[in-house]
Amino acid sequence: MTAIDLSTPLKFAYWVPNVSGGLVVSTVEQRTGWDFDYNKKLARIAENAGFEYALTQARYAASYGADKQHEATSFSLALLGATERLKVIAAVHPGMWQPGVLAKFIITADHLSNGRAAVNIVSGWLKDEFVNFGLPWLEHDERYVRTEEFIRILRGLWTEKEFAQAGKYYDINNVTLSPAPLDIPGRAHPEIFFGGNSTAAQATAGRVADWYFSNGKDLAGFTENIAGVRAAAVPAGRTPRFGLNGFVIARDTEKEAKETLREIVAKAHRPAVEGFKASVQEAGAATADGKGMWADSSYEDLIQYNDGFKTGLIGTPEQIAERIVEYKKIGVNLLLTCYLHFQEEVQSFGRDVMPIVRSLEAELAARNGVEFKAADASPTAERALIR
């Protein structure tokens, strides 16, 4: 098994609420806006609170409770222009983008943002969006064949001159993109994130992704996902990093946090959740081994549509920080978080939770004889360590 990186501080990201309705499909109060002014302020709050990444959602028309959506790549570019340090990850679908066009777009975004543009490749998601746009909807495992070609083309166009690749879905013939992405120390090209829980998704991530994103999982479930990705990564000579989704309910007491969760579930928009469940669980049903995104998700799980409740980031700041460090112990490098009230809770997460995480990380490293790179932590968290 690959050694866990105890020296490097965990990274934190948040879901960009660029679709209406917030991040839970519920009528519970969510003081969260989908408009750009709200998100511009949120992005600045997040980078000052110590968040390194933001992930912009890809939604077009099929919404299940989110009746308005802003397009991910343009929204990401606007957020990059409104911030100084935050890295913004735009979610894209291979079936809707030509890889050369996306490669060029990200290069330009990379230059405009001084190297802060990244991409998250979404292989499937919502069938109706493809069908209603008149686009082919591939069977489950075949979507990952296309995705792997797509990612290899992105990387090739970003790192090689006269790049060529002939495949089942794309043919690239001796293309040189100029300028190339910025030369940023510590990265070969703009970061490529990729998600999926199925066996095919894990294998694809291991072979070609820089980062593997997972829906919310408990410790045992994510340990299994990591093992599947690493099994494909080792023969390819690759070492992808791991990100995990989690919905955060940090309150003064555990009782208050759990009461908030109960209210979310009690006020869920049942028709929207059931419609979403019927649509997305096609993925798991279509795989040979029954494993796939949302395949084992209950009605309650899907009220947070990326299974964020499963991760268990619900309780006091201390309890949440301890839970986060338990995930670090099994190999998580990044926590992708979401909230009811984004501006207030992103700020309080940076103030109340991150410093405890950093202290626990430093203690964990020391117990294992490893130097903790506190200087790589967020400014807020590093000040907490100094105190």
Q: With H, G, I as helix, E, B as strand and everything else as coil, classify residue 118.
A: strand
Return d(Cα 336, Cα 140) in angstroms, integer: 25
Question: Cα–Cα distances in Å, from 276 out to 62, 261, 353?
Answer: 9, 20, 32
Q: Is 103 left (phi over 0), alpha (psi -120 to 50) or beta?
A: alpha
Pairing of strands 163-166, 171-175: antiparallel
In whole angstroms, give the CA distance from residue 39 to residue 361: 30
**Residue 271 pLDDT:** 85
Half-sphere exposure (Cβ direction) of 184: Cα atoms closer than 13 Å:
20
Say if CB 354 and CB 12 are below 8 A apart. Answer: yes
Range list of H helices, 113-252: 127-132, 140-159, 199-208, 219-233
Beta bridge partners of 336: 13, 245
Mean pLDDT, the chain cut into blocks of 10 residues (387 residues total): 83 97 95 98 98 96 83 98 98 97 98 98 89 94 97 98 98 98 96 93 97 95 95 96 98 98 95 79 57 72 92 98 98 98 98 98 97 76 43
Helix (H, G, I), strand (E, B) or coil at 332: coil
Output the pLDDT for position 285: 53
Compute how many other C-beta atoms are within 10 angstroms of the C-beta atom of residue 59.
21
pLDDT at site 290: 57
